[in-house]
Chain A
Amino acid sequence: MGPADLVIEVRGLRKAYGPVVAVDGLDLEMTRGEVLALLGPNGAGKTTTVEILEGYRRRDSGHARVLGEDPQHAGAAWRARRGVVLQSCDDVVDLTVRECVHHFSHFYPAPAQPDEVIERVGLGAKRDARIRSLSGGQRRRLDVALGIVGQPELLFLDEPTTGFDPEARRGFWDLVRDLAGEGTSILLTTHYLEEAEALASRVAVISGGRLVDMGPPGELGGRHDRPAEVSWLGPDGWQRTSTHEPTRLVVQLQAAFGGEVPGLTVRRPSLEDIYLELIGAAGAEGGGAPAEGSPARRRTAPAGPPARARVGAAAKAPAEAPAEAPAGGEP
């Protein structure tokens, strides 16, 4: 694959806010047409990375190319080629949905039909409602509409489905799949592992500003080679075995039981298991402690140190510094 097929090319990306190193030597590549999901605990540096690539923030060092240009210096023509859905935005409350989407469509050289975009994000029934009156999830859908109205080649979605109800999330997944099917490259961040699994062709896990692992959701952390866990209800109670050859074991069990195996389950590690393991290990080596609220903090990750120790580390980690701390520099 030639470099022309790379929509994002990042090497040794670094960004610090005063003493807080948010991105610490990140390498990332994304090919055209790909859906790449960035996963990582709160404060891992996802938004910082994404906003550097969108052209909002300046990197301290490292190489970054997005759609062939340096995002820090790219102009309006480049901005027309990528769409942005920011993590948080609370503006234009006195317009209707329709007015707002039409308004933003006027900035692009080849916009989609605004009314169609409104339908696509599922706001058809709310087209004439004031934005002020929308629910949180509906507002988020409007954010998505404004991100795609310019028909971008490359779409950045920073936690796009936060606040969506389950049905809306499924609807959004369909939309993302459609966009990807049309050839749009999509970089998304999410805290929902099932979302990454449903949408992403590849997943990148970052922690403490560093890439921990990257690969297709089914292969992350060697997931496809992991032993499967087989459990069943034997004569002496529940049995559980880890094996690389679950099929063989099941056949043997079938023979032993002479038919149906009671309570049989065969389970491979879920993406969440792998994720927690990766984050736990990264937290143990580097300083990048899982911050408050992240899944790893709530559970005991298999390979990590005891939860207690990690909580202590998190309290001291620079990631916990207040956002108001003197920033490294102006944009």
Chain B
Amino acid sequence: MSATLSEGAGAGLRGAGWAPARPTVSPAKALVKASLSRGHVEVLQFFRSKDAVVFTLALPVVLLALLASILSGHVQGTSVSYSQVYVTGLLAGGLASTSFLNLGVFIATERENGGLKRLAGTPMPRAAYFLGKVVVVLITSVLEVAVLMVMGHFLYGVKFPASLGRWWVFIWVTLLGGTAMTLLGVAASSIPRSARSAGAVLNLPFLVLEFISGVFVPFTQLSHTLLDIAGIFPLRWIAEGYRSALLPSFIQQAEIGHRWDHVQMAAVMGVWCVVALVFAARTFRWTAKGEG
């Protein structure tokens, strides 16, 4: 450690015995700066753990390939294959796993290894942490959706959205659904008692939700009761949203409501954004359980 360097930038600023005059930075500027820095670091960290990147992106791809090969054939009396239905289902499932599941487990880990505590000890505006997460989730989700979409197109003949209107649905379902699941992931990260248990704790409800929301089982094969229960949560509506953006219109006859109701989809996702945000704001802890 070189003592000679101590005469550097800061040394001259202070006289012993007096508090240095501190420049004041406007809160908005501080937030922008901190959030950009958080986003940058989050993305760096994510892409540097190569195995995490590969396996995160690969999971829905592998599941799609498996499920599409297990259940062949077409939705009763239509030209739509089950493989194509699975493409829309796994788009929803993939989006939810990059946002809800990965984020929930990752935050629980950061809480336990002291990363959150260290950040909380700095003047970083608290919101910057969450905005940084939004950046990394957005990038991974868009990648995930793109990979699945390309695979669905070339392997299973799913057409890209046929009109501007359908593209718009595709985009807002991704963004609004992704936001709702991200906020839920933040909220859920406080439930597991430790980082070690986080995967196990969050996977159970998540897998159940995937099964009853038409991710792993085509929506046409699920009972109305199950779909109604799933309808409380956003995932079923995200899956339905992707169907409405990618599958032929006549297939909406097979939905429980016999039509695609975009207002209802957006409303459920929006309400969950608010609920999850309120819950997260009330329960979020910057230190591990038992500390404080």
- Are A and B physically bound partners? yes
Q: B-contacting residues of A (Cβ < 8 Å)?
A: 5, 17, 32-33, 54-58, 76-77, 79-81, 84, 86, 88-92, 94-95, 99, 103-104, 106-110, 112-113, 116, 119-122, 124, 141, 146, 150-151, 153, 168, 171-172, 174-175, 178-179, 181-184, 323-324, 327, 329-331
Within the complex, the shortest CB–CB distance from A13 to chain B, in Å, comes to 15
Within the complex, the shortest CB–CB distance from A221 to chain B, in Å, comes to 29
How far apart sit A250 and B69, CA to CA, in the bound complex (Å)? 97
Asked if A79 contacts B44 (CB within 8 A), the reply is no
Contact of A107 among B48, B114, B122, B289 (CB under 8 A): B122
Asked if B5 contacts A183 (CB within 8 A), the reply is no
Asked if B49 contacts A94 (CB within 8 A), the reply is yes
Task: Name the interface residues of B1-30: CB closer than 8 Å to any CB of A.
Answer: 1-3, 5-6, 8-11, 13-20, 22-25, 30
Given A146-B118, A168-B1, decide whether A116 and B9 contact each other with a Cβ distance below 8 A: yes
Question: Does B162 have its Cβ within 8 Å of any Cβ on chain A?
Answer: no
Most buried by B among A86, A116, A323, A327: A116
Task: Report B-chain residues with C-beta under 8 Å of the C-beta of A175.
Answer: 1, 3, 6
Task: Report A-chain residues with C-beta under 8 Å of the C-beta of B124.
Answer: 76, 107
Contact of A92 among B11, B45, B122 (CB under 8 A): B45
Within the complex, the shortest CB–CB distance from A244 to chain B, in Å, comes to 37
Asked if A122 contacts B13 (CB within 8 A), the reply is no
Contact of B291 among A108, A110, A153, A331 (CB under 8 A): A331
Within the complex, the shortest CB–CB distance from A1 to chain B, in Å, comes to 11
Q: A-contacting residues of B (Cβ < 8 Å)?
A: 1-3, 5-6, 8-11, 13-20, 22-25, 30, 33-34, 36-37, 40-41, 44-45, 48-49, 110, 113-115, 117-118, 120-125, 285-287, 289-292
10 residue pairs from A and B, CB less than 8 Å apart: A76-B124, A76-B125, A80-B123, A81-B19, A89-B113, A89-B115, A90-B114, A172-B1, A327-B289, A331-B292
How far apart sit A138 and B48, CA to CA, in the bound complex (Å)? 21
How far apart sit A77 and B23, CA to CA, in the bound complex (Å)? 10
Closest to A5 in B: B17
Task: Report B-chain residues with C-beta under 8 Å of the C-beta of A179.
Answer: 6
Task: Report B-chain residues with C-beta under 8 Å of the C-beta of A141.
Answer: 1
Asked if A122 contacts B1 (CB within 8 A), the reply is yes
How far apart sit A278 and B148, CA to CA, in the bound complex (Å)? 69
Task: Report A-chain residues with C-beta under 8 Å of the C-beta of B287.
Answer: 56, 331
Task: Report A-chain residues with C-beta under 8 Å of the C-beta of B122.
Answer: 79-80, 104, 107-108, 150
Closest to B8 in A: A116
Classify the secondary structure of B's interface with A. loop
Task: Report B-chain residues with C-beta under 8 Å of the C-beta of A178.
Answer: 3, 6, 11
Asked if A103 contacts B41 (CB within 8 A), the reply is yes
How far apart sit A319 and B44, CA to CA, in the bound complex (Å)? 42
Asked if B2 contacts A122 (CB within 8 A), the reply is yes
How far apart sit A108 and B287, CA to CA, in the bound complex (Å)? 21
Task: Report B-chain residues with C-beta under 8 Å of the C-beta of A106.
Answer: 33-34, 36-37
Given A107-B122, A120-B2, A330-B285, decide whether A113 and B8 contact each other with a Cβ distance below 8 A: yes
Closest to A91 in B: B115
Asked if B5 contacts A33 (CB within 8 A), the reply is no
Given A183-B14, A183-B16, decide whether A107 and B22 contact each other with a Cβ distance below 8 A: no
Task: Report B-chain residues with C-beta under 8 Å of the C-beta of A32.
Answer: 17-19
Asked if A107 contacts B123 (CB within 8 A), the reply is yes
Task: Report A-chain residues with C-beta under 8 Å of the C-beta of B114.
Answer: 86, 88-91
